[in-house]
Structure 1
Amino acid sequence: MAGTTAAPFAVNLAAMGNAAAQNASDYKALVCLYMAGGNDGFNTVLATDSASWNEYQRLRVTADNKSIALPGLGATGGVLPIAPINSQGRSFALHPRLGTVKSLFDAGNVAILANVGTLVQPTTLAQYKAASVKLPPKLFSHNDQQSMWQSDAPEGSLSGWGGRMGDMVASANSNQTFGCISVSGNAVFLTGKQTRQLQITTEGLPGITNLSAGLFGTQPGSNPLQAIITGQGDNKFQNDYAAVVNRAIAAQGTLQAAMVPAGAGGIPNPTQYVNPNTGVAAANPLALQLQAVARVIAGRNTLGVKRQVFYVSMNGFDTHTAQATAHADLMARLDHAIAYFNTVLAALQGTDMRQQVTLFTASDFGRTFTTNGNGTDHGWGSHHFIIGGAVKGRDIYGNFPVTGVNHALDVGSGSLLPTTSVDQYGATLATWFGVPAAQLASVFPNIGNFTTKNLGFMA
């Protein structure tokens, strides 16, 4: 049975890959920046017209004067105004620590997608309350909603839409090992039906120790070691293990030779970022992950790749407590890393790659508009950034919701019913990446339920 179901997909994949290869004279990369824990979109992108701002202040300050509300325009450390092309009759601003994101937005290289989240089909509040339409399973659960965002299925899913995109354009890469790369551990987002994700560290891809050196003080020991771990035999498990090890050895050698070095003469090292709460400078792990991405992209010709999908992440967004300080630090790190990556891509080995590399944010879910006193609880829809030279920026896409609670999108405590689905978000990126419209349903199972499949934020 497995053979009969897999064969049509494989044939279709080969045909799609050949078409992609013929049209893949240029290079394109997608970088998923995942904010684990559920980013508070309400303090990331804000409506600042009088009615919205007054309601924002009312709901984010408690009766005992505890506040997670940000300072207003013009105040010291106040929110940063932006002017979207389509203002929807309102005014908007960004978190005070997103200075670079604001500059890139003003320059037309950042778009904001409003109120996006996991959906199976368009859903109204009445349908949600009556459970009269199919809803995403296990809403508000971290593990399951992380998996829903990355794969369209709850925890336990075997493939993600980044990996499935990799399947569709696989033949654009002469070496398919390097099509989907995570710099942040195992991510279902990058696992395809055919594509295997490659996990690297910020230093690259570590090799197997003692593979080419002496073993237990004897020089000949390295040869028996490699023979043992890569040898074939009569046992199927042994042979499968040997195949994995051989792939790992080959990938490590190829990537080590291709990745442009970090530091002087190579990809510049990121500066330290400054914690806005303490004033202390420290290394930014997200910037180091993006440096590794840039080092791989710089070696794209040696690797033989035309299409790549990357995954990086940062933790700490589950801000039930101490949100005012915690979120400020998170936004500072996010902004610092984006500034670094944009600068590096602008002159990557002498080439401006910003037109060919698109970074986009994702997270488990949004958070509640109402405060629990010192933070926020799990929500649903949220706002996200798309960044790059190919982005039709300086605009907000989708429907920016009413500020407050008890309206047509509030499922409780200001948790938003999304008006745009993750499938639509991903399908727009996939179309730019080179996945044909006829194949979108193979990557995004629910896309057929939505009338609009391309949201228009990519050139």
Structure 2
Amino acid sequence: MTKKINASRREFLRAASLMSVVGASGAPFALNLMTMAAASAQTAPQSDYKAIVCLFFSGGNDHANTVLATDPTSWSTYQSVRTTSGADSIALPAPGAAGGVLPIVPTTAQAGREFALHPSLGPLKDLFDAGRAAVIANVGPLIVPATLAQYKAGSVPLPPKLFSHNDQQSLWQSYKPEGASFGWGGRMGDLLASMNSNAIFTSVSASGNAVFLSGKTINQYQVSSAGAVPIGGLSGSLFGSTTAGNPLAAIISGGGNANLFEKDHAAIVKRSIDAQAILATAMLPAGTGGVANPTQYTNPNTGALANNSLATQLQTVARVIGGRAALGVKRQVFFVSIGSFDTHDNQRVNQGDLLARVAHALSYFDTTLSTLGGSDLRPSVTLFTASDFGRTFTSNGDGTDHGWGSHHFVAGGAVKGKDIYGTFPVTALGHAQDVGSGSLLPGISVDQYGGTLARWFGLSDAQIGDVFPNIANFTKRDLGFMG
């Protein structure tokens, strides 16, 4: 009975005391005592470092204008379905036309098919052509493989709450709808945190709180472009005094009282303060002498130069990776994001700008990693994209509506690039994967997509099965896009 009560108390303190220190939105900053105790100081060669970066397109990116089939039959259908009257038509210009889609030639041919990328993805096309980026066709949440007939009949288990933003964002990141407590990035961190002497730096977000990074024992650590976020009042001026931060730190981390709750609370706060100090010192600086600042990107609609917040997030990731030795980490999972992909209206303009930012940021990240700290870190870092869902193939006039399956990208030096993985769906309406209005029934599950990344990351088959509970339902568990 005593052991059961202690375990319950620990679980309560894990949540409650973190909240009391930094508030609900800041809870991931604090340290997880159980994780810190479990982490061992194993060492490995520096070349053994690996990082996975999730780039999430919030809102549901329109895949059908991101990666396109351009063979004559497909292109004719594409134009007939997506061309609407007026200037707001979402159909893109043909290859070779002014502002036209950008042809790509995958290493593995798909009979009778030709392909292209959105006109704004020029820098990403360069990565694809160089063999450091690949397309994964028609990915989405699935519990078991499903045919259109099974979907319509409801004869196989299907993901819950399809077409819902919040639920599908959570489902992509954690296999459960909104309200999930941990995600597959955090679970990978749980299993490999023993390789890190500072387990708190295993899961790091440069884009706020994300269930993707939360594990059963690992808590995500959030950073901003300014670096590690300190507890307020411990430095600088507090109530007009430059010395008041010292007694405040002593009060919140002293733990002198015999009360067990206060002792655990104080220990967590102290470790949070210590972790912030470690990261602030270990992160490479931004700009001169550290990680170069991103250049501005060109808005394809206006031609104006503008700052790119996604590139800045990836700069923050690079700065943390640059401090990996000082942080004592060999495995890290990161999260960055870009929003506004819910393009029900004005899609051609809005998506064009968003994808320009994505391509600019990925090119910047690739260049930065190529010489980070004097080493080429590209083979050690793999970035993959995710989104709520794809969108309908049909247009609502100047936009698209919620869908299911979508095309995604993986990028990095370990990627078997310049290829399209998975069967590219038919460009038409009413085909064998059309669940309505051209919304795609996925041909590849998120479990297969993530499981392939997890195998490269170092997880065993048993661990992959633990992280991705549905992967046992699929025959092909490694899609082959990682070296």
Kept in 1, the 8 Å contact 2:88–2:346? The answer is: no
* Alignment match, 1:411: 435
Kept in 2, the 8 Å contact 1:139–1:145? The answer is: yes
The yes-or-no answer on 1:227 pairing with 2:212 is: no
Deviates more, 1:318-327 or 1:211-220: 211-220
The yes-or-no answer on 1:260 pairing with 2:280 is: no
User: In structure 2, what is the Cα distance between the partners aligned to 1:247 and 1:407?
Assistant: 56
* Alignment match, 2:10: none
Deviations 1:58-116 (Å, cap 9, x if unpaired)? 11012567510110011001111000111211100000111111111111111110000
Deviates more, 1:383-392 or 1:198-207: 198-207
* Alignment match, 2:74: 52
Instruction: Look up the equivalent residue of 2:107 and give its one-letter code.
Output: I
* Alignment match, 1:166: 189
Out of 251, 255, 269, the position equivalent to 1:245 is 269
Q: Percent of counterpart pairs with the same letter?
A: 62
* Alignment match, 1:36: 58
Structural mapping, 1:7-406, within 5 Å: 26-62=48-84, 66-89=88-111, 90-213=113-236, 215-218=238-241, 221-232=244-255, 233=257, 235=259, 238-406=262-430
Instruction: Look up the equivalent residue of 1:151 and give its one-letter code.
Output: S
* Alignment match, 2:20: none
Shift of 1:264: 0.9
Instruction: Look up the equivalent residue of 1:178 and give its one-letter code.
Output: F
Distance 1:61 1:438, change over 3 A: same
Deviates more, 1:17-26 or 1:396-405: 17-26
Shift of 1:240: 4.7
Distance 1:20 1:125, change over 3 A: farther
Distance 1:236 1:67, change over 3 A: farther
The yes-or-no answer on 1:429 pairing with 2:453 is: yes
Distance 1:70 1:213, change over 3 A: closer
Instruction: Look up the equivalent residue of 1:158 and give its one-letter code.
Output: S
* Alignment match, 1:9: none
User: In structure 2, what is the Cα distance between the partners aligned to 1:365 and 1:117?
Assistant: 7
Shift of 1:231: 3.3
Kept in 2, the 8 Å contact 1:24–1:172? The answer is: no
Shift of 1:55: 0.5
Distance 1:331 1:215, change over 3 A: closer
User: In structure 2, what is the Cα distance between the partners aligned to 1:41 and 1:77?
Assistant: 18
SS across alignment from 1:29: strand
User: In structure 1, what is the Cα distance between the partners aligned to 2:254 and 2:186?
Assistant: 30
User: In structure 1, what is the Cα distance between the partners aligned to 2:451 and 2:385?
Assistant: 15
Kept in 2, the 8 Å contact 1:392–1:457? The answer is: yes
Shift of 1:20: 8.9
Kept in 1, the 8 Å contact 2:40–2:196? The answer is: no
Instruction: Look up the equivalent residue of 2:299 and give its one-letter code.
Output: N
Kept in 1, the 8 Å contact 2:204–2:223? The answer is: yes
Distance 1:99 1:214, change over 3 A: closer
SS across alignment from 1:123: coil
Deviations 1:153-196 (Å, cap 9, x if unpaired)? 11111110000000111111111111110000000000011111
SS across alignment from 1:291: helix
SS across alignment from 2:48: coil
User: In structure 1, what is the Cα distance between the partners aligned to 2:396 and 2:46?
Assistant: 50
Shift of 1:225: 1.0
User: In structure 2, what is the Cα distance between the partners aligned to 1:65 and 1:304?
Assistant: 55
User: In structure 1, what is the Cα distance between the partners aligned to 2:250 and 2:211?
Assistant: 32
TM-score, with normalisation over the residues of structure 1? 0.94
Distance 1:373 1:205, change over 3 A: same
TM-score, with normalisation over the residues of structure 2? 0.89
User: In structure 2, what is the Cα distance between the partners aligned to 1:226 and 1:351?
Assistant: 39
User: What is the RMSD computed on CA atoms of the aligned residues?
Assistant: 2.3
Instruction: Look up the equivalent residue of 1:87 and give its one-letter code.
Output: A
Instruction: Look up the equivalent residue of 2:479 and give its one-letter code.
Output: L
User: In structure 2, what is the Cα distance between the partners aligned to 1:74 and 1:214?
Assistant: 60
Kept in 1, the 8 Å contact 2:185–2:213? The answer is: yes
Deviations 1:251-288 (Å, cap 9, x if unpaired)? 11000000010011110000111111112211100000
User: In structure 2, what is the Cα distance between the partners aligned to 1:417 and 1:65?
Assistant: 31
Task: Number of aligned residue pairs: give it.
Answer: 452
Shift of 1:237: 5.0
Deviations 1:170-225 (Å, cap 9, x if unpaired)? 11111111111000000000001111110111111122333245643455533321
Distance 1:319 1:3, change over 3 A: farther
User: In structure 1, what is the Cα distance between the partners aligned to 2:335 and 2:163?
Assistant: 23
User: In structure 2, what is the Cα distance between the partners aligned to 1:259 and 1:381?
Assistant: 37
Shift of 1:242: 2.8
Shift of 1:403: 0.4
Instruction: Look up the equivalent residue of 1:48 and give its one-letter code.
Output: T
Deviates more, 1:130-139 or 1:206-215: 206-215
Distance 1:20 1:431, change over 3 A: farther
